[in-house]
């Protein structure tokens, strides 16, 4: 918790990169292509929500426990 937030930014970009996973799997297994759009939308929602909520939760934790 002594860093300037660089680690948080790198995790957010890694999470964003994971949104491509359903497309890659769909390309490898065409039988799964019908699920790619739905899976990508769900994964993107999780990435956005956690990217927004994690810094807030960490800030509150830091304020209450340090």
DSSP secondary structure, 20-63, as one string = GHHHHHHHH-GGGGGGHHHHHHHHHHHHHHHHHHHHHHHHHHHH
pLDDT digits (tens, 9 = 90+) for 18-61: 889 999 999 999 999 999 999 999 999 988 888 888 888 878 88
What is the domain extent for residue 30? 6-65
| Total domains, the chain | 1
Does some domain include residue 1? no
pTM for the complete prediction? Answer: 0.69
Does some domain include residue 30? yes
Inter-helix orientation angle 6-17/36-65, to 10°: 160
Does some domain include residue 15? yes
């Amino acid at each position: 918790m002594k860093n300037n937030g660089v680690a948080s930014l790198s995790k957010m970009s890694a999470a964003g990169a994971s949104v491509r996973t359903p497309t890659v799997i769909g390309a490898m297994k065409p039988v799964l292509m019908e699920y790619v759009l739905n899976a990508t939308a769900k994964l993107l929602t999780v990435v956005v929500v956690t990217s927004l909520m994690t810094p807030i939760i960490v800030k509150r934790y830091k304020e209450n426990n340090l």
